[in-house]
Amino acid sequence: MILEDKVLVVFTDEGKKNSGGPGGFISQLIRPFKLCGIEVTPPITTPLRSRWKRLFGQPETWLNPANLLGTLRNPSYLPNRSLFKEAGMASARILWFMHHAFYELFAPFIQPDQIVIYQPHCPELPWMEVLGVDEEAVQQRKREEKTVRDLIARSSVLVLPNEGARSIYESLIGPDLELRYLQSGAAIPSDVGLIPLDPQFTYLLYIGRRLPIKGFDIVREAFSKAYASRQDLRLIVCGSGEPLLDPGVIDIGFTSRIHDWIASVDCVVNANRQSYLDLSVMETLAIGTPIIMSATHGHEVFQQFNSADLHCLNSTEPSEFARSMTKLCRKDRRQVREDTPNHQLYAQEFSIPQYHERLEEFANLILSKYTSN
């Protein structure tokens, strides 16, 4: 039986609410809810080896010529084929992929009459996120590029958060690909606590990988300039990387308490050179903490919003960020600041009910266009 009344989101990992990318997105906003027109594949946790044992206990399965040929080409062929059926993908008319890795797993089993939707979540072409210059990294980039291009070629619809993000993927958008914009959202983080910070200082927080595309070098140089004139400033750096010993910088590395840090500081700083629509930015709005950010690509949308605590810069010049940093004042530190301009902006534009309304409208539109009767 073909599932005609649901768009099936393909994500067979369990995902974590505090993780970035599609895992955190789906865990926060889609999987926990009963939504009209939307369903998510269940997380598959069965160990691969037990799956192999069960499958190879059925000779009629593995002796099938098509299965045998597929297994010779790819040892994971049979387990993936089993997952495709178990997770409901075989009976879904419309499959929505939010990460190309799942398309790579299940592409051989997608039927010609099934509709594919793709929503990337990267601030750059997905294969460019594979770092390194060694042979293994080069080969992985090539493999992921092929997967993404194959997925785009198979897709009927490409979903992006807004028009600003389109330029990131422009080179992949052909004349036959339908483009739809669906503004994302975020949950209000639960159980947010406060981290005791010295009240004599004003704290900024950088979240993320220490990469040029994330603007880490911009934040670092900007803070150095700001600190030269205001020694009461402190920059807390959250994320993996080489330890920093810069004056005024507090390097905490990776942390599982990122929401507590957002609530505890006076301002979050985001200087992306390219932006999709960062979950951490929307969570910062939800908590109510001020933010200094670059209006690049998907973040151009923030220029249209009016919030006294949203400092949206048209430049990625360190001097511009430094100027904003030096103007900062200490804020009343509370777990979630519901009476702040940023939280009010979140409630109006990025809350779960707002996102679900847009999501269900999108699903109904897709279902009415691509399903029979």
Count Cβ atoms below 10 Å from residue 164 Cβ, excluding itself: 21
Q: How are beta strands 233-238 and 38-40 bridged, if at all?
A: unpaired
What is each CA distance from 21 to 143, 193, 279, in whole angstroms?
A: 20, 24, 8
CA angle 207, 212, 216 (to 5 degrees): 35
What confidence score (pLDDT) does residue 60 get? 41
* CATH no. of 202-349: 3.40.50.2000
**CB 213, CB 124: distance < 8 Å:** yes
For residues 155 and 45, what is the distance between their CA atoms, to the nearest angstrom?
A: 28
Domains 3-44+87-185+352-370 and 202-349 share a fold: yes
Name the strands in the sheet holding 3-10, side by side, starting at the edge strand that comes first in the sequence: 38-40, 3-10, 92-97, 115-118, 157-160, 178-181
What confidence score (pLDDT) does residue 114 get? 96
What confidence score (pLDDT) does residue 319 get? 98
**pLDDT one digit per residue (tens) for the chain, 373 residues:** 567 789 999 998 877 766 678 988 999 999 999 999 999 998 876 544 344 444 444 444 434 444 444 444 566 788 888 889 988 999 999 999 999 999 999 999 999 999 999 999 999 999 999 988 789 999 999 999 999 999 999 999 999 999 999 999 999 999 999 999 999 999 998 889 999 999 999 999 999 999 999 999 999 999 999 999 999 999 999 998 889 999 999 999 999 999 999 999 999 999 999 999 999 999 999 999 999 999 999 999 999 998 999 999 999 999 999 999 999 988 766 667 788 999 999 999 999 999 999 999 999 999 999 986 5
At position 187, the amino acid (one-letter code) is A
Domain 3-44+87-185+352-370 CATH class label = alpha beta
Q: Which residue in 123, 116, 186 sits closest to 158, CA to CA?
A: 116
What confidence score (pLDDT) does residue 3 get? 72
Domain boundaries, the chain: 3-44+87-185+352-370, 202-349
DSSP letter string, 358-371: HHHHHHHHHHHHHS
For residues 353 and 228, what is the distance between their CA atoms, to the nearest angstrom?
A: 44
What confidence score (pLDDT) does residue 63 get? 40
